[in-house]
Structure 1
Amino acid sequence: MRVLLCALIAIASFAGEGFAQTMTLKDQLIGTWIYVSSTAKRDDGTPVPRPSLQGAVTYTADGRFHFITTSTNAPKYASSDSAKPSPEEAMAVASQSIAYTGTYTVDEGTKTIHVNIETSTFPNLVGAPNQRRIVSAISADEMKFTNPRTPAGVTLEIVWKRAK
């Protein structure tokens, strides 16, 4: 009986490992990921300074996503009314924040997430063609992807950790 139990546990463990290895990229993406860090480079490889950011991206099983990053140093508004920042306060927040949402598909062969941005705090992204994120690494707890061409003309690499 003990041998049979050990054999069943071994088979279950092996089957579980095989299952994890056969998960699709889309299956692995589903959930919320918390921003860890990012680097930006120009086409010639020159690094571009990045602000200190916080944020998250969520991918749903039905093909929707939500993305937001904002400065960790965003100033508090002098007014308690979020609709009445001073011009300086509004510019400080808007210039270091971005949020967008829409639908996504995954090309498993190229490990590419294709996003269709429907709404954004940066209106130029809405409907912009060829919005893609190339996943360079993904595990149960960490994901790294590259946005190969941002509107600012830089390549952006972002590291995420899975929300717990």
Structure 2
Amino acid sequence: MNRRFALGLSATAFISVVAFSNVSFSQARSLQEQLIGTWIYESSKATREDGSPIARPKLQGAVTYTPEGRFHFITVRSDAPKYASGDSARPSQEEAMAIASGVVAYTGTYTVDESTKTIHVNIETSSFPNLVGAPNQRRIVTSIGDDELTFTNPRTPAGITLELVFKRAR
């Protein structure tokens, strides 16, 4: 009787462990599934090809990934001047330059290479026209969790490497 009880208890425990393991594996989400949503800009680092750091302005912004494979990205200098005229169509030359040089916005489609943790972006519209249709636009995800996303843009058109950190929007 004790043997049957012990065998039954062992079998029940084994089945429970297997069932729990299967639930854990089936709940593992792909990188693309984890990306879906809006992420708020937290910080960034820029480096030159020789590894030397580049000072970054104070920024705010966000990136959004949709389940349909579309994305939107924007960063804006948080210290941008207000227009003295109050009319967005009539900035002074200095105001216009400060705004134009402090905004990066683009949108388009994306795909994810799960094996390399790489987001491949096809930029369709941008505040920086040189990005539109530029080949080999990729973002390498170095870390992703429920609340934080870090990716690297390994080579911008200016030849620098950017690492960007985002927090999930709530």
Correspondences of 1:59-138 after superposition (within 5 Å): 59-138=65-144
Letter in 1 for 2:58: S
Paired with 2:123 and 2:61, the residues of 1 have a C-alpha distance of: 17
What code does the residue aligned with 1:105 have? T
Aligned-pair identity (%): 69
2:151 equivalent to 1:140: no
1:18 corresponds in structure 2 to 25
Unaligned runs of 5+ in 2: 1-12
**Matching residue of 2:10:** none
Q: Helix, strand or coil: the match of 1:157?
A: strand
Write out per-residue CA displacement over residues 28-77 of structure 1, whole angstroms, 9 at most, x where no aligned residue: 00000000000001111100110000000000000000000000100000
Gaps of 5+ in 1: 1-6
Give the CA RMSD over aligned residues. Answer: 1.9
Query: What is the deviation of 1:18?
Result: 3.5
**Are positions 1:58 and 2:58 aligned together?**
no
For 1:161, which of 138, 152, 167 is the aligned residue? 167
Bigger radius of gyration, 1 or 2? Answer: 2
For 1:16 and 1:134, locate their aligned partners in 2 and report how far apart those are by CA, in whole Å: 29
> How many residues were matched structurally?
156
Cα distance in 1 for partners of 2:90, 2:152 equals 36
For 1:160 and 1:37, the matched residues in 2 are separated by 7
TM-score by length of 1: 0.89
Q: TM-score, normalised by structure 2?
A: 0.86
> Measured at CA, do residues 108 and 78 of structure 1 come closer, stay the same or move farther in structure 2, by a change above 3 Å?
same
